[in-house]
Structure 1
């Protein structure tokens, strides 16, 4: 019994020492990180940094957190933020966001309100802290421009997932969003006649993105990795009677221009043309020309109500089939 008691006491003392060393190490590491960001010109402040959870967890809490990167103009404010990890599995981290936070871009600020917004991260067990896989969920999400409080966009549920592939610069990304309600200006632009339901019922995406470097701590401290190739396995969206799917692959040039082809499959595509015309995205004369050309392509495919057509990105332009429809987006992460 004395021997068993001694073993228990030694084990308890050893575990307590391990937890205390880990707790002090986390506090020192995060404090040093904040100081390093401030030395680079960031705003990096928190009114309280604490590590709790003895004996089985490391719960790192940040109160009144403010981070702002002068190089990109991006900033984030939160009344609190928490990172939790089991003390015997410190590379599996759970992040928990507050119900209200503020995100600022060079253009404007957005208030983000969420219920049960959290993420599970499995991180490589080294100092680079590269995430191996990440899953973020929220039961409700609302985004409001701070200067235009009436322009509210909401989601009833959101799931985002990312997994690092065997080639460590490749990441498989997944999205599942339900109940998207657009802010009134966007709704009026896309559906000026109000003929569609208030909510976009379902949006899913499965794609693999190759970046020019691995996502790790330098993505925040130095510069964001930039996409070099995007392979779309499937994007699927439903809004009322409209149903759009997409698949394909594009390369991304060093200046962020996509080059490649995405195949679109559209059901009730004539309604989409009518919406584009009503919103002003297509002039009346051009809309009729586009509809006639797409009708010919649909008949060639054997189903006039379903359209399979390539969306081509070339030379900084987008072509829908043979028809130029506008400039290509610049795919650069700030």
Structure 2
């Protein structure tokens, strides 16, 4: 009994030493990371950083954190932020965002509120946090721009997992958004007649993306990994009686131009085309001829209400069936 008690005491002392050494190393590593970002020209500050959770957790609590990268025009600030990890499994992190935060992008500034926003991240390499898989969830998420216009959704799930059979930086991505309510200006732009409901029923996506390098803390600190191949298993949006589905594959060059073909399947496609013309996504000058051509194609396919036609990307241009739409989008992460 005395021997057992001695072993328990020794084990407790050893584990306590491990926790305090680990927490000290974590605080030092966080301070060094912020120093490195400032050395690269970032604005990187926080009021306080504490490590709690003894004996089984390393819980990092930040107060008044602020990060800004002038090189990309992105900035983020929050009154608090948490990154939690089990002390016996430091490669599994849980990030917890506050109910209120602010995000600035090259396009606009946004106030973000949510009831519950968090991420679960599993890293292959604890030293540089090479991503193995991650899941981000949010409920009752509202995003308000600088003009006071708000877009909202009831729930969001975004998941990423590195494919185990590939030695390259290939990740499978999944997205599910329920009850998405676009901001009023965007709704009026897309649906000027007000024929559609205020909210999209759902947006779902399942795709595989090959990047030029693995997602890790080191890669994010230097340059964001860029997509080189995108395989869309299915992207689906349901908005009232409208249904839009995409599937296909494109490669992406070093500039960001895609090359390949994505099949577009649309139910009640005439209404979708009218929305695209009203929003400016399809030039008004070709809207009429495009509608006539697509009507013929849909009739030949056997169902005039359903459209099944390729969206082709080539030489920096995009075509919808045989009709040129203009320059292709640049797919580049900043």
2:24 corresponds in structure 1 to 24
In structure 1, the residue matched to 2:333 is 333
Q: Displacement of 1:30 after TM fit?
A: 0.6
- Which residue matches 2:138? 138
Alignment size in residue pairs: 332
Q: Which residue of 1 aligns with 2:243?
A: 243
Mapped to 2, the partners of 1:197 and 1:70 lie a distance apart of 39
- 1:157 paired residue number: 155
* Structure-2 residue corresponding to 1:59: 59
Alpha-carbon deviation of 1:278? 4.0
In 1, the alpha carbon distance for the partners of 2:216 and 2:128 equals: 6
1:229 Cα deviation after fit: 0.7
RMSD: 1.3
CA-to-aligned-CA distance 1:145-202 (integer Å, 9 cap, x gap) = 12x01x1111111000000113231011100001111111110110000000000110
Distance 1:103 1:311 in 2: 33
Instruction: Give the C-alpha shift of residue 112 in structure 1.
Output: 1.2
Give the conservation status (yes or no) of the 8 Å contact 1:164–1:171. yes
For 1:8 and 1:280, locate their aligned partners in 2 and report how far apart those are by CA, in whole Å.
71
- Report the alpha carbon displacement of residue 304 of structure 1 after superposing the two structures with TM: 1.4
Matches within 5 A, 1:22-171: 22-146=22-146, 148-149=147-148, 151-166=149-164, 167=166, 168-171=168-171
State whether residues 298 and 305 of structure 2, in contact with CA within 8 Å, keep that contact through their aligned partners in structure 1. Answer: yes
Q: Cα–Cα, structure 1 residues 280 and 222, in superposed 2: closer, same or farther, change >3 Å?
A: closer
Q: Conserved in 1, the CA contact under 8 Å of 2:179 and 2:202? A: yes
Is the contact made by 1:193 and 1:278 (CA closer than 8 Å) also made in structure 2?
no
Q: Aligned partners of 2:186 and 2:68: how far apart in 1?
A: 28
Q: Which runs of 5+ in 2 are unaligned?
A: none
**Residue 127 to residue 284, structure 1, CA distance change in 2 (3 Å):** closer
Aligned-partner SS, 2:21? helix
Whole-angstrom CA distance in 1 between matches of 2:215 and 2:279: 39
Please state whether the residue corresponding to 1:117 is helix, strand or coil.
Answer: strand
Deviation at 1:277, TM superposition (A): 3.8
Residue by residue over 1:229-262, the C-alpha shift from the partner in whole angstroms, topping out at 9 and shown as x without a partner, is 1100000110001001110000101100011100
Distance 1:281 1:94, change over 3 A: closer
CA distance, structure 2, for counterparts of residue 281 and residue 222 of structure 1: 34
1:202-231 deviation line (CA, Å, top 9, x unaligned): 000000111111111123311101111110
State how far apart, in whole Å, the 1-side matches of 2:238 and 2:151 are: 17
Question: Partners of 2:278 and 2:38 in 1: how far apart?
Answer: 50
1:267-278 aligned at under 5 Å gives the runs: 267-278=267-278
Question: Equivalences for 1:294-333 in 2 at 5 Å?
Answer: 294-333=294-333
Deviations, residues 1-36 of structure 1 (Å, cap 9, x unaligned): 211111111111111111111111101111111111
Which ranges of structure 1 fall in alignment gaps of 5 or more residues? Answer: none
Superposition TM-score, scaled by structure 2 size: 0.96
8 Å CA contact retained: 2:90, 2:126: no
**Residues in 2 aligned to 1:191 and 1:65: alpha-carbon distance in whole angstroms:** 39
Indicate if the aligned counterparts of 2:283 and 2:325 stay in contact, CA closer than 8 A.
no
Cα distance in 2 for residues equivalent to 1:127 and 1:236: 38
Q: Secondary structure at the match of 1:13?
A: helix
SS at match of 2:187: helix
Q: Deviations over 1:280-329 (max 9, x none)?
A: 55566633311211111112222111111000111221111000122211
